[in-house]
């Protein structure tokens, strides 16, 4: 957890929530009385507002805060217009062969891919090992569970503390991995959001071990999302690949989906 990160709230109403989060994450907290662009004490803030919890960069060039939002924006658009089970990601996990898969998302991040799986009928368990990202994800799930439009989808999404190494007793049809990789994105939208994560947590330099463990707990397959040109995890070629516009999905088959 970087020392340049703190918890902030504007409205006194959120002081209690900030105190609880401060204890959970072992971070300082304070009431923010200046615009983000004028704040200079901390580089990043976990910001509590009426819109929920977000991660915000401070300083003169501060972009808009980023939160986990399943109800509106890009995620909602993808749910309606994303292509359903015809999407590359859906084919990669095997939804063209079987419905109602159980999926473990071992690197949940902002939860966007997990939401796609759940919206297509999968039961999804999510893991995220970075504490402040876990806080963002939990807050996003809580807010989304109150939406009549998608509460049914959210109920198929379960969040667990810990990381994939703690999953020794459970088996899942599919284990999905999307480890952070140090590459350059061309999309302006991706730059804005992923810059927060790359600057704050870097990349998963131990990602190779994820594949080895994932294969032990996947009944049918492990799917690894990779940028174009990225090496295979653990230098292990997949059984096959599903190529997308901006990246690929490496599929490691343990057993055929009937």
> What's the confidence (pLDDT) of residue 3?
54
pLDDT tens by residue, 45-94: 999 999 999 999 898 878 888 899 998 867 765 666 456 788 999 999 99
Average pLDDT over residues 199-227: 86
**End-to-end Cα, the chain, rounded Å:** 43
In this prediction the pTM is 0.89
> What's the confidence (pLDDT) of residue 2?
45
> What's the confidence (pLDDT) of residue 44?
93
Q: To which H or E segment does residue 223 belong?
A: strand 218-227
Please determine, for residue 27, whether its predicted confidence score (pLDDT) is greater than 80. Answer: yes
CB-hemisphere CA count at 13 Å for 148?
0
Q: To which H or E segment does residue 46 belong?
A: strand 44-49
> What's the confidence (pLDDT) of residue 85?
82
> What's the confidence (pLDDT) of residue 183?
53
Please determine, for residue 184, whether its predicted confidence score (pLDDT) is greater than 60. Answer: no
Question: How far apart, in whole angstroms, are the C-alpha atoms of residue 134 and residue 12?
Answer: 24
Q: What is the CA radius of gyration of the chain?
A: 19
CA distances for 114 relative to 5, 21, 62, 175, angstroms: 26, 24, 28, 11
CB-hemisphere CA count at 13 Å for 39?
22
pLDDT tens by residue, 127-175: 998 899 999 999 999 999 998 889 999 999 999 988 898 888 789 999 9
CB-hemisphere CA count at 13 Å for 82?
21
């Amino acid at each position: 957890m970087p020392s340049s990160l703190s918890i902030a709230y504007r409205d006194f109403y959120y002081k209690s929530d900030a105190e609880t989060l401060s204890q959970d994450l072992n971070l300082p907290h304070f009431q923010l009385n200046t615009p983000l662009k004028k704040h200079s004490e901390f580089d990043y803030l976990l910001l509590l507002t009426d819109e929920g919890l977000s991660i915000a960069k401070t300083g003169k060039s501060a972009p808009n805060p980023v939160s986990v939002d399943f109800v509106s924006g890009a995620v909602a658009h993808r749910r309606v217009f994303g292509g359903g089970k015809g999407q590359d990601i859906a084919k990669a996990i095997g939804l063209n062969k079987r419905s109602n898969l159980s999926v473990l998302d071992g690197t949940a991040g902002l939860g966007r891919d997990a939401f796609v799986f759940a919206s297509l009928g999968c039961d999804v368990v999510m893991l995220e090992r970075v504490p402040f990202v876990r806080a963002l994800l939990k807050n996003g799930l809580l807010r989304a569970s109150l939406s009549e439009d998608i509460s049914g989808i959210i109920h198929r999404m379960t969040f667990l503390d810990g990381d994939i190494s703690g999953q020794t007793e459970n088996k899942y049809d599919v284990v999905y991995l999307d480890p952070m990789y140090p590459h350059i994105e061309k999309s302006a939208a991706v730059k804005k959001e992923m810059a927060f994560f790359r600057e704050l947590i870097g990349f998963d330099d131990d990602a190779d071990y994820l594949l080895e463990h994932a294969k032990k707990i996947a009944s049918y397959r492990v799917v690894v999302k990779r940028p174009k040109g990225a090496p295979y995890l653990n230098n292990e070629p997949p059984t096959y690949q599903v190529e997308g516009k901006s990246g690929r999905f490496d599929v490691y088959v343990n057993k055929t989906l009937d």
